[in-house]
Amino acid sequence: MKKVLITSRSFGKTSPKPFAILEEAGIEYTLMGTDFDEEAFKKAIPEYDALVIGAHKFYPEDMAKCPNLKLIAKHGAGLDNIFLEEAKELGICVTNVPAMNANAVADLAFAHMLNISRGVSFTNNQVHTGAWKSFIGKDVYQKTLGLVGFGAIAKNVARRAKGFSMKVLAYDPFVTEVPEEFAEYVTLADLDTVTKQSDIVSIHVPLLDSTKNLFDEARIMMMQPESYLINTSRGGIINEEDLYKCMSAGHLGGCAIDVVEVEPMQQDNPLLTLDNFVVTPHIGMYSLEAISAVSIVCAENVAKVLAGEEPNYKIV
Ligand code: NAD
Distance 153 CA to ligand 1 centre (A): 7
Number of domains in the chain: 2
How does residue 34 score in pLDDT terms, banded at 50, 70 and 90? Answer: confident
pLDDT the model gives residue 266: 97
Considering the domain architecture, whether residues 119 and 69 belong to the same structural domain is answered as: no
315 in a structural domain: no
| Domain identity same for 185 and 268 | yes
Which atom of ligand 1 lies closest to the CA of 150? 9
d(CA 119, CA 105): 20
- Regarding whether 230 and 169 lie in a shared domain, the answer is yes
pLDDT-derived band at 74, boundaries 50, 70, 90? very high
Average pLDDT in the chain: 97
Asked whether residue 142 is assigned to any structural domain, the reply reads yes
If pLDDT is split at 50, 70 and 90, which confidence band does 35 have?
Answer: confident
Q: Which residues of 74-95 are buried (b: 16+ CB within 10 A; e: fewer)?
A: bbbbbbbbbbeebbeeeebbbb
Q: Select from 84, 233, 313 the residue to mutate for testing ligand 1; criterion: most ligand atoms less than 8 Å from CB.
A: 233
> Domain of 255: which CATH number?
3.40.50.720
- Is residue 300 in a domain? yes
Domain shared by 263 and 168, yes or no = yes
* Residue 311 is assigned to a structural domain of this protein: no
Residue 313 lies in a domain: no
pLDDT recorded at residue 117 = 98
pLDDT band at 15 (very low <50, low <70, confident <90, very high): very high
Whole-number Å distance between alpha carbons of 259 and 236: 9
The answer to whether residues 226 and 140 belong to one domain is yes
**CB burial class (10 A; 0-12, 13-18, 19+) of residue 281?**
exposed
pLDDT for 88 beyond 90: yes
29 and 75 co-located in one domain: yes
Indicate if 119 and 38 belong to the same structural domain.
no
200 and 79 in one domain? no
Please enumerate in sequence order all residues whose Cβ is within 8 A of that of 195, keeping only pairs 6 or more positions apart, or say none. Answer: 146, 201, 219, 222, 223
For ligand 1, atom 6: residue with the closest CA: 151
Residue 200, strand partner residues: 145, 228
Peptide bond into 311 cis (omega under 30): no
Cβ 302 under 6 angstroms from ligand 1: no
> 71 with 171, same domain?
no
Q: How far apart are alpha carbons 250 and 233 in whole angstroms?
A: 24
For the stretch 210-246, pLDDT in tens is 999 999 999 999 999 999 999 999 999 999 999 999 9
Which residue segment(s) compose the domain that 135 sits in?
102-279
Q: Does 297 lie in the same domain as 186?
A: no
* Nearest CA owner, ligand 1 atom 39: 284
In a domain, 108, yes or no: yes
Q: Tell how far the Cα of 74 is from the centroid of ligand 1, in angstroms.
A: 15
CA angle 181, 208, 94 (to 5 degrees): 85
pLDDT tens sequence across 93-118: 999 999 899 999 999 999 999 999 99
| Residue-wise pLDDT tens digits, 248-301 | 999 999 999 999 999 999 999 999 999 999 999 999 999 999 999 999 999 999
Residues 260 and 299 in one domain: no
- Assess whether 85 and 49 both reside in one domain: yes
